[in-house]
Amino acid sequence: SEDGGGVNLAVLAPAPGTISGPTVPCEIDMRVRCKLMRDTTVTNVDCENIPMEGQCTVKVRYLYFVHTLKPGGTTLQSLTRYRKGAHEANGGDNKNMLIDTNGVSSVGKTVSDWVLNAWEEESVDLCSTNTYDTKVELTTKKISTGQVCSRSEGVKFSTSAANAPDPSDVAEQCQVTMNVECIVCISNEGCGGTDCNYYADPKNGCTKPIRYKYKFTNGGSSFITIKSVGRTRTDESSLPLGGTNYIMPKGSTQFFGEDIDFNFCDNGEKTTVFEATVVCGGRTETFNADYKLIY
Predicted pLDDT at 175 = 85
Predicted pLDDT at 18 = 52
Q: pTM of the entire structure?
A: 0.54
Give the DSSP per-residue string, the chain.
Answer: -EEETTB---SBPPPP----S-B----EEEEEEEEEEETTEEEEEEGGG----S-SEEEEEEEEEEEE-S-SSEEEEEEEEEEEETTGGGT---EETTBBTTS-B-TT-EESS-EEEEEEEEEEETTS-EEEEEEEEEEEEETTT--EEEEEEEEEEEE-GGGSPPGGGHHHHT-EEEEEEEEE-SBTGGGB--BGGGPPPPSS-SEEEEEEEEEEEE-SSS-EEEEEEEEEETTEEEEE-S-SSEEE-TT-EEEEEEEEEEETTS--EEEEEEEEEEEETTEEEEEEEEEEEE-
Predicted pLDDT at 16 = 42
Greatest C-alpha distance within the chain: 94
Predicted pLDDT at 232 = 96
Sheet holding 176-184, edge to edge: 176-184, 207-218, 253-263
Low-confidence ranges of the chain (pLDDT < 50): 1-17, 90, 170-171
User: Dihedrals φ, ψ of 48, to 5°?
Assistant: -75, -5
Predicted pLDDT at 136 = 94
